[in-house]
Amino acid sequence: MRVLKSNGFSTRIAASFLFLLVLLQLAPVLVQAQNLGGAPATNKAVQGQTAAQPEGAFLNLVNWVGNVIAPVGAALCVVMAIINYTHGRGVARWAVAAAGLLMISGLTRLIEFWISQGTAGVQ
């Protein structure tokens, strides 16, 4: 059996081509996710607030953690749990990590709700 050797240059070109192909496939999804409707919101942290306001910056951080980071991390933990299960390894730590990340997501959404309710002031 003969093994073909490939030089590093052709491997890098192939990897770059594959990366660009995947990026081109994901570009429409990313562009659609950034669409805010009729006009883009520029220089705004959240609707009605500027990034210079502390509550706008904090709400932006809470949105990012609760809506993006924690759910994506939980999905990756579920994938790792499935992979470990197929290899006969323990899955409890990955399942607990996924549940914890979803709890963090829920708590940050609760904080987001409290912030949005508190912007009207004390009544």
**Predicted local distance difference test score (pLDDT) of residue 6:** 57
Q: From first to last of its 123 residues, what are the pLDDT tens digits of the chain?
A: 555 555 666 777 878 878 777 777 766 655 554 445 555 555 555 555 555 666 667 767 777 888 889 999 999 999 999 999 999 999 999 999 999 999 999 988 887 777 777 766 555
Per-position b or e across 46-73, b if 16+ CB within 10 A of its CB:
beebeeeeeebeebeebbebbeeebbeb
**Predicted local distance difference test score (pLDDT) of residue 33:** 47
Q: Residue 49's closest CA among 111, 122, 115?
A: 115
* Structure tokens, 15: 């990897």
Specify the 3-state DSSP secondary structure of 49. Answer: strand
